[in-house]
Amino acid sequence: MNKREITSVLIDYNSSAELENIYEELINNAKEAAKKAYAPYSKFKVGAAVLLDNGAIIKGNNQENAAYPSGLCAERVAIFYANAQYPERTIRAIAIAALTSSGFTEEPIPPCGSCLQVMLESEKKSNSSIQVLLYGQNKITSADSIKQFLPINFTNDMLM
């Protein structure tokens, strides 16, 4: 038997003012996107903003549907739209914010497993890490790659 220890490195910031200006702008775009989410069933509105290597910011938000699970998460809406509009561009960063009837969540919320897998595919496709910024009123959590959330991951290399 061999024991392996896997660690992830996450950085917590007290406010967006501690971040580079572009990341602060990205978080604000994610918050704006959350306000426009279509979440009549869960009332849990999520916004995502993707920063591309050309400086473009693409926003997405969760889209629910009465026929569960036909909806789509904010992260995938933003990433798929970015890939459809800018197929040759690289995603540099993604910011995610969640809004409830009480306001933005106090703690940052992580992406779901499906979104992490899509984000991982984007990293693999571009051979470049994606900076992840998770917004919460109490702190902002940052990671330098999706692999910090998904250290043991499934990629196309395993299909061969």
Question: Catalytic residue among 5, 24, 25, 75, which?
Answer: 75
Separation of alpha carbons 125 and 43, rounded Å: 33
| Residues 6+ positions from 132 with CB-CB distance below 8 Å | 93, 94, 96, 111, 119, 142, 143, 144, 145, 146, 148, 149
DSSP state of 2: -
Of 30, 31, 11, nearest to 19 by C-alpha is 11
| Residues 6+ positions from 22 with CB-CB distance below 8 Å | 51, 93
Which tokens hold the place of 44? 């849990």
Does the active-site annotation cover 24?
Answer: no
Which tokens hold the place of 98? 């969640």
Which residues are the active-site residues? 75
